Amino acid sequence: MSIFEIDAESRSDQGKGASRRLRRDGKVPAIIYGGGAEPQSVSLLHSEVLKRLDHEAFYSHILTINVDGKANQAVLRDMQRHPAKPIVMHMDFQRVSENQPIRVHVPLHFLGEDVAPGVKAGGLVTHETVEVELEVLPKHLPEYIEVDISALEIGDSLHLTDLKLPESGSLVELGRGEDHNHPVVSIHAKRGGAEETEEAEGGAAAEGEA
């Protein structure tokens, strides 16, 4: 079975007690909602969930959730983990419709760091943002967005408006106003570089002579 497909069972029992019983049985309580249908409570095998969470794309991909043999197209909207143990406590899935845009957090993949002039000159790369919230039609949903920094010099940066978005895609943050064009990645000079080291050594020598 694909990492983007998972089996689930419908459940009618509700409440904290029911959820605890499911977890003791190695299952994860979950809910599927949206898409013009009633919310549906389900349970998934915890072992199968953990296998899929190792794949970054699972978090931003359209998933097929088979509930009692019926396929549901959905995206992962929320997940609660145990604060101290490797246990998934609860999951929320939102159904998707082909013609309705969805909002999904999509990871950024940075390219060209090894050839960027700013890096070759000794600069440091700072990733200001590692994922963005994208509104997009399901058929255009990417697994990730590439950010090419191969041309950046020391002091250069890329902002949200510099990202290449998929067809029908728009950034939720930019929809909040022009002042939300946040930096994504930048290259800056190292602190305590060669000049500062020389100055410090020179100062120490002067003090010694004095």
Tokens 């950010």 identify what position?
Answer: 147
pLDDT single digits (tens) 120-140: 999 999 999 999 999 999 999
What CATH class is the domain 5-97?
A: mainly beta
Q: Domain extents for the chain?
A: 5-97, 103-194
Tokens 């602190």 identify what position?
Answer: 191
5-97 and 103-194 share one fold = no
Phi, psi (rounded to 5 degrees) for 194: -60, -40
pLDDT single digits (tens) 143-162: 999 999 999 999 999 999 99
pTM assigned to the model: 0.79
CB of 96 closer than 8 Å to CB of 135:
no
Which CATH homologous superfamily contains domain 103-194?
A: Ribosomal protein L25, C-terminal domain (2.170.120.20)
